[in-house]
A = this chain, B = another copy of it.
Amino acid sequence: MNVSIKDIARIAGVSTASVSRVLSGKPGVGDETAERIRKIAEEIGYRPNLGARGLAKRTTGNIAVVVPRGSFILNNPFFSTVLEGVAKGIDQTDYNMLMSFTSLQQKRLLETQSVDGVILFSPRNEELSLEWLKSIGLPIVVVGSYLEESPFPCVRPDDEDGIRQAVKALYQLGHQNIGIINGPMSSMHSVRCFNGYKSTMLELGLDFSHENVFEIGEFDVLKATKVMAAFLKEHRKITGVVCSSDYLAMGVIKAATMIGLKVPEDLSVVGADDVPISDFITPSLSSVHVDLVGIGRKATSILMDMLQGKQIRKRDVVFKMEYINRGTTSVPNHHLIPDPKHEKDHGD
């Protein structure tokens, strides 16, 4: 029913081969013929059928963006911000973006020859097996931390150092009892954050205790506030807390408020990643900045390189992070600090 190159060929009195050539920008057709073909195509409102083209060329023109953990993840500004970068990156190409949020959809998407490559948001170990991922034989680049032995290029924040900076910032403000609110340890990101936290505490000569580590099982922070509130209540010695994400940090603030703690007077909290909304809430969130949009863009450009058969030199691209002091951090309430002015002299 839709017009096809056949129609154009008939009207123009040429072969479909010629039509195909001019419409897909290939050389080898006389200027006049080409012009005539273009005009006719325009007139009869020709729309190429990407599916057919894909069949013939063995490509799809689609790239998949798969984010595990269900669609509620959309509320997590980390994802939406990186996604913004990915979207911008893809926009500059001729690819279309296919998204999937559930594992069912992912399987279907990836097993069905529907995409040429995939941007994979850091899956947890149990969600997508490395074996399966390898078996589908698609170019994949992962965003965020993933398995060490992953064969896929990866672009991620330097999360371990991010937490390190967060802890140091708190330390320099005078905090001694510093806790961490972390995601589930099945995520490499959480593991890295934990490592950064632990090693920095030790390095600074602060008490490291598993007591002060709170791991929430789900990324659904909204639901986790009550347990966080309980945790904070039990650990009143903690005057500062670092979080593995800004989103989590917002939950901590909420939880603190619930039990009557003031931020930052009673509790300093610092996030990680510095999503756009963090500078926007009141008080604005102290965090460790990283170029999230840049991460998304970089991931896309690496994928594009792979799609063009280029050799990928750097399999791991790590974005550096930088602490930003805003409204949710201050000197601890219980101790008067002699000289709170020294802002940043990496004490070691």
Q: Give A residues with C-beta under 8 Å from B.
A: 2, 47-52, 54-55, 60, 62, 71-72, 74-75, 77, 80-81, 83-84, 87-88, 90-91, 94, 96-102, 104-105, 108-109, 111-114, 221-222, 225, 250-251, 253-254, 257, 263, 276-277, 279-282
Contact A84 B72 (CB under 8 A): yes
Q: List 11 A-B contacts (CB under 8 A).
A: A47-B112, A47-B113, A49-B112, A50-B113, A72-B84, A75-B77, A75-B80, A90-B105, A96-B109, A225-B280, A254-B282
Task: Using known A-B contacts A2-B113, A71-B87, determine if residue A98 contacts B101 with beta carbons closer than 8 Å.
Answer: no
Docked Cα-Cα span, A98 to B277, in Å, equals 26
Q: Nearest Cβ distance between residue A29 and chain B, in whole angstroms?
A: 22
Contact A51 B113 (CB under 8 A): yes
Residues of B within 8 A of A81 (CB): 74-75
Docked Cα-Cα span, A100 to B88, in Å, equals 10
Q: Nearest Cβ distance between residue A47 and chain B, in whole angstroms?
A: 5
User: A54: nearest residue on chain B (CB-CB)?
Assistant: B51
User: A88: nearest residue on chain B (CB-CB)?
Assistant: B71
Residues of B within 8 A of A48 (CB): 112-113
Docked Cα-Cα span, A254 to B282, in Å, equals 7
Contact B222 A276 (CB under 8 A): yes
Contact B101 A99 (CB under 8 A): no
User: A254: nearest residue on chain B (CB-CB)?
Assistant: B280
Q: Nearest Cβ distance between residue A24 and chain B, in whole angstroms?
A: 13
Q: Nearest Cβ distance between residue A303 and chain B, in whole angstroms?
A: 16
Contact A50 B112 (CB under 8 A): yes
Docked Cα-Cα span, A263 to B47, in Å, equals 54
